[in-house]
């Protein structure tokens, strides 16, 4: 009779264990199916909590995952909720533990409120920690339950890591496509060949630091006696900057065709840029209009690097104008410069990339040094001048550009 009772008890225990294992497998299967369906992270966490509370009767949980070198609690229920700082500080005391351990007798006041500490590792890196409390399982089932909880959480962590990697890959691909589109847009904006006639010779160099830059230049023949040019730098990079640049070019061409006053053109451009960007981006630019018959140059420098005018052996920075456009609803000041041009004058326009670079020498390079270079090389043709200037930076200063470089050089005959 006694032998029969012992056998019956053993069979019951075996059946209970098998049923428990079956339930565990079903739980893991449900989680796996949810992961394969790309279920949102909050739903996965909710499923974890349901399994722990209803199936394993875990009364208290704190589940922390590693994020940017600190641990963030993504699931918590039961008991008084501690601050993230205190939880991190407490769990750091168990940073070397790599398998589930009992912590009810731990000296730390926070840790001692829980029954077990469960770490989740990948190789030597801790990906997550869990604290579970109000958990009464004991005996032979304890190790099984702790291992199951660790496995369940491991599956969740792997899923979250895969989601993170997938998002990063999508972001990388999106960024790459955005850069490709931005390059396509900008290539449509940069003139394929520069204008040349009996009154003006033009040379241009555009050297983007990366695939896409914020620089822009243009030359517009207005009529048989006048032409206009512009060099500009749009803040930011990417497709949004390229589209802003495209809109700026279209606006410039439209207003230049119907408006003779540079002041009005710049004021209109400022309002257009501000309306399009809500003040989140700005543009610096140098805009000039030249009348060949009157030999008059009118210009406005809107927060841009000063264009250098070389005439009669002197190099003069052209700084008169206003602040950058796209920042203020009304430009705080707007002054237009006017100059009588001498035949043979050279005009050097550039963006700030020409002045910003990493130099491997101790030689100074600034606006004064640029003016000295212009005085020494102002006799060269525009194309030869641009080449000589870039060679000077490469050979003499051994410079490495850290931004886009654009040169637009004109010889006025």
Highest mean pLDDT among 28-37, 110-119, 132-141, 401-410: 110-119
CA distances from 404 to 28, 215, 339 (A): 54, 7, 29
3-state helix vs strand vs coil in the chain, percent to 5: 45, 25, 30
Per-residue pLDDT tens digits for 232-257: 998 877 777 778 888 899 899 999 99
Tell me the average pLDDT across 189-210: 78
Please, what are the domains in the chain?
A: 2-168 (3.30.450.40), 190-412 (3.60.40.10)
Q: What is the DSSP letter of 54?
A: I
129 pLDDT more than 50: yes
Task: Name the residue among 363, 371, 348, 350 with its Cα closest to residue 394.
Answer: 363
Find all residues with CB under 8 Å of 150, minimum gap 6, and list them. 100, 118, 120
Element (H, E) at 370: helix 367-377
119 pLDDT more than 60: yes
Determine the pLDDT at residue 54: 86
Per-residue pLDDT tens digits for 139-171: 667 888 888 888 889 888 888 888 888 788 878
Integer Cα distance of 315 and 348 in angstroms: 10
79 pLDDT more than 50: yes
pTM (2 d.p.): 0.61
Q: Indicate the pLDDT class of residue 338, thresholds 50, 70 and 90.
A: very high
* Measured distance between the N- and C-terminal CA atoms of the chain, rounded to whole angstroms: 122
Determine the pLDDT at residue 5: 45
Determine the pLDDT at residue 1: 47
Task: Name the residue among 32, 73, 38 with its Cα closest to residue 51.
Answer: 32
Average pLDDT over the chain, rounded to an integer: 86
Q: Indicate the pLDDT class of residue 218, thresholds 50, 70 and 90.
A: very high
What's phi and psi for 59, nearest 5 deg? -80, -20
Per-residue pLDDT tens digits for 365-400: 899 999 999 999 999 999 999 999 999 988 877 766
If DSSP codes are grouped into helix, strand and coil, which group holds residue 227? strand
Task: Name the residue among 199, 211, 210, 216 with its Cα closest to residue 408.
Answer: 216
Determine the pLDDT at residue 70: 80
Which bin fits 39, alpha (ψ -120 to 50), beta or left (φ > 0)? Answer: beta
Burial of 334 (0-12, 13-18, 19+ CB in 10 A): middle
CA distances from 229 to 232, 250, 290, 300, 311 (A): 10, 14, 9, 11, 19
Determine the pLDDT at residue 399: 65
Per-residue pLDDT tens digits for 259-315: 999 999 999 999 999 998 888 889 999 999 999 999 999 999 999 999 999 999 999
In the chain, the percentage of residues whose pLDDT exceeds 90 is 49
């Amino acid at each position: 009779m006694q032998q029969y009772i012992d056998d019956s008890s053993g069979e019951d225990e075996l059946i209970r264990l098998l049923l428990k294992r079956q339930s565990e497998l079903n739980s893991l299967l449900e989680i796996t199916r949810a992961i394969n369906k790309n279920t949102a992270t909050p739903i996965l966490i909710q499923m974890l909590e349901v399994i722990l509370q209803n199936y394993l009767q875990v009364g208290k949980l704190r589940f922390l995952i590693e994020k940017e070198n600190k641990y963030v609690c993504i699931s918590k229920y039961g008991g008084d909720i501690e601050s993230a700082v205190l939880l991190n500080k407490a769990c750091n005391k168990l940073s070397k533990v790599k398998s589930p351990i009992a912590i009810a007798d731990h000296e730390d006041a926070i840790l001692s409120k829980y029954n077990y500490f469960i770490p989740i590792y990948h190789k030597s890196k801790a990906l997550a920690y869990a604290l579970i409390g109000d958990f009464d399982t004991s005996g032979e089932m304890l190790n099984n339950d702790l291992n199951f909880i660790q496995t369940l959480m491991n599956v969740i962590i792997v899923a979250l890591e895969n989601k993170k990697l997938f998002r990063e890959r999508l972001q990388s691909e999106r960024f790459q496509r955005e850069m490709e589109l931005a390059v396509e847009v900008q290539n449509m904006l940069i003139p394929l060949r520069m204008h040349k006639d009996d009154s003006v010779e033009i040379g241009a160099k555009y050297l983007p630091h990366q695939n896409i830059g914020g620089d822009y230049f243009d030359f517009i023949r207005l009529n048989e006696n006048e032409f206009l040019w512009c060099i500009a730098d749009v803040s930011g990079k990417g497709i949004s900057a390229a589209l802003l640049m495209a809109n700026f070019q279209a606006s410039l061409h439209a207003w230049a065709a119907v408006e003779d006053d540079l002041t009005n053109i710049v004021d209109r451009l400022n309002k257009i840029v501000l309306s399009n960007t809500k003040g989140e981006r700005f543009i610096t630019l140098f805009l000039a209009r030249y009348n060949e018959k009157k030999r008059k140059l009118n210009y406005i420098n809107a927060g841009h690097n000063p264009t250098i005018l070389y005439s009669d052996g002197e190099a003069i920075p052209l700084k008169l104008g206003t602040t950058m456009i796209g920042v203020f609803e009304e430009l705080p000041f707007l002054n237009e410069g006017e100059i009588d041009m001498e035949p043979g004058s050279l005009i050097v326009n550039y963006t700030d990339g020409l002045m910003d670079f990493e130099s491997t020498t101790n030689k100074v390079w600034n606006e004064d040094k640029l003016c000295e270079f212009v005085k020494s090389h102002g006799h060269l043709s525009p194309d030869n001048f641009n080449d000589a200037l870039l060679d000077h930076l490469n050979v003499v200063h051994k410079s490495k550009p850290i931004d886009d470089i654009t040169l637009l050089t004109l010889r006025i005959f």
